[in-house]
C-alpha cells in the first residue's frame, strides 16, 4: 500500500523525495502538501482505488491513508 501511495504522491508533487516517505511521514508538515495538493491527492486515490470519498476524512500521515485504504478492502 505504501508503494502505491508513493506513486500517487509522485504524481501530485514531483519534488517529493520518495526515499524519505514512510508511514510516519506527515502530509502537510513533512511533504508540504497544501489544500490544492491534498485535493489532487484525494482525487488520484479515488481514481487508483476505484471509489469516492463520501465524507471528509482528516489524514495526518501517509500511514493514516494506508490504514483507511486497507480498511476499505475489508
Domain at 29, CATH number: 1.10.1200.10
Q: Hunting for cell 478492502 — which residue is that?
A: 73
The pLDDT, as a whole number, for residue 73 is 72
The pLDDT, as a whole number, for residue 35 is 93
Q: Which residues of the chain are under the pLDDT cut of 50?
A: none
**7-23 pLDDT, tens digit each:** 999 999 999 999 999 99
The pLDDT, as a whole number, for residue 65 is 97
Cβ proximity of 9 and 31 under 8 Å:
yes
The residue range of the domain holding 15 is 2-72
Global model pTM greater than 0.85: yes
- Dihedral, CA atoms, 67, 50, 56, 73, nearest 10 degrees? -30
Between CA 13 and CA 32 the distance in angstroms is 9
Number of domains in the chain: 1
Amino acid at each position: 500500500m505504501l508503494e502505491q501511495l508513493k506513486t500517487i504522491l509522485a504524481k501530485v508533487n514531483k519534488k517529493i523525495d520518495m526515499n524519505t516517505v514512510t508511514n510516519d511521514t506527515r502530509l502537510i508538515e513533512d511533504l508540504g502538501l497544501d489544500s490544492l495538493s491534498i485535493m489532487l491527492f484525494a482525487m488520484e486515490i479515488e481514481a487508483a482505488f476505484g471509489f469516492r470519498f463520501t465524507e471528509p476524512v482528516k489524514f495526518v500521515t501517509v500511514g493514516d491513508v494506508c490504514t483507511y485504504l486497507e480498511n476499505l478492502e475489508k
